[in-house]
Structure 1
Amino acid sequence: MSNLPDQLLAGYRNFMGGRYISESGRYRELAREGQTPETMVIACCDSRAAPEAIFDAGPGELFVVRNVANLVPPYAPDGEYHSTSAALEFAVQSLKVKHIVVMGHGRCGGIKAALAPDAEPLSPGDFIGKWMSLVAPAADAVSGNTMMTAGERQTALERISIRYSIANLRTFPCVKILESKERLSLHGAWFDISTGELWVMNRETGDFERPDLD
């Protein structure tokens, strides 16, 4: 009896009979020479917003880290466990990526939780509540805006949190130094699950705009 769900095995079978055959040379090259992606994407772990699918990326093209609500914590060399910071360190210092994209998405469950701080924790550890406290000041400000609908507040915080994460990226010395030398660029993006629209943050104004794809 297999230890994996049948759906995964069926998907793997399709992969080996399709994409792997067409890209086997690329996979062998990556195995031999290692990965050299130019872009790191920090995305949500939501199953509906996979960066590799959204950007139609092949093997070795994106270095992706995913967590609840695509957040970046501030630089904190305190000896604790920091998975997102560790991935960032590896991407910047070892892989020497040229771009970091923080990509949020619509209908994010983590953002919804941040806008409902009085909700019961899912477990005694309340790991989601603690994690989402990273954007608590913005969540409090957005929640207090009674002129907005619940959906508008959700979208607003989803986009504000991206700007928060980009600001936190700049607290990492390696990021700040490389950005100042124009060897690293920081970007924000927001994906609408229901329409497939991608909105890109204007690096000068902070506004989210639809890119010209023509």
Structure 2
Amino acid sequence: MHRFPEHLIQGYANFLAGRFAREQSRYSELAATGQSPTTMIIACCDSRAAPETIFDAGPGELFVLRNVANLVPTYQPDGGQHGTSAAIEFAVVSLEVSNIVVMGHGRCGGIHAALSPNAKPLDAGDFIGKWMSMLGPVSAQVGQNALMTPAERQTALERISIRNSIGNLRTFPYVAKLETEGKLALHGAWFDISTGELWVMNPDTGDFSRPDV
């Protein structure tokens, strides 16, 4: 029988002695009163780009959804099981967050897969391929641009995908309504793993730039 990973046990011990000990009253308060984060982060599953670490967030501060390549599908109330849409619904309708940030990152494996449509699937289900297919013509257009290097195409699609997901967020009726009323703001961000740089999207132009810190 396999034992629970020792490095996780050690990490938990460090958490108990460190952060939990320092913020025990905060955890107790959250347990008693529930969560009330003001910001939802839609990020990638990639272990190198954890939103709580990047934004130095404490317990209860961020409502984080992570999936492959931080994608948001369009609103599809078709009776299917939609994990990403369910999390968005809960964050907006129940928690009443005032900000949603779609955060991509450099060297994203999902985006690489979208740019490699002829690559062999990891298994017969090809779940990643089917998931990334929602980028559709966007990834095809970027992938066929011979004037760009592979690295440039990768970064371009990572950022275009963020804008695409923000557009898809607006197909959710309650998201569109609250944004129009000024009660919800949608943001884009891109994190460079190798340099630690954060780039944020201009809501008017869609361009990305580094904020002053």
TM-score by structure 1 length?
Answer: 0.98
SS of match in other structure, 2:23: helix
C-alpha deviation, 1:212, in angstroms: 1.1
C-alpha deviation, 1:4, in angstroms: 1.7
Q: How does 1:80-95 map to 2 (within 5 A)?
A: 80-95=80-95
Q: How does 1:1-214 map to 2 (within 5 A)?
A: 3-213=3-213
SS of match in other structure, 1:18: helix
Q: Which amino acid aligns with 1:183?
A: K
CA distance in 2, matches of 1:172, 1:202: 22
Cα-to-partner distance string for 1:34-70 (whole Å, 9 max, x where unaligned): 0000000000000000000000000000000000000
CA distance in 2, matches of 1:122, 1:17: 40
Name stretches of at least 5 consecutive residues in structure 2 with no aligned partner: none
- Structure 1 segments of 4+ aligned residues over 4 angstroms from their partners: none
CA RMSD of aligned residues (A): 0.9
Q: Which amino acid aligns with 2:11?
A: G
Q: Which amino acid aligns with 2:174?
A: C
Aligned residue-pair number: 213
CA distance in 2, matches of 1:199, 1:136: 25
Distance 1:30 1:2, change over 3 A: farther
CA distance in 2, matches of 1:62, 1:3: 32
C-alpha deviation, 1:3, in angstroms: 3.9
CA distance in 2, matches of 1:87, 1:178: 17
Cα-to-partner distance string for 1:48-99 (whole Å, 9 max, x where unaligned): 0000000000000000000000000000001111000000000000000000
SS of match in other structure, 1:41: strand
Q: Which amino acid aligns with 1:108?
A: C
CA distance in 2, matches of 1:207, 1:173: 26
SS of match in other structure, 1:116: coil
% of aligned pairs identical?
Answer: 69
CA distance in 2, matches of 1:157, 1:4: 38
Name stretches of at least 5 consecutive residues in structure 1 with no aligned partner: none
CA distance in 2, matches of 1:21, 1:207: 42
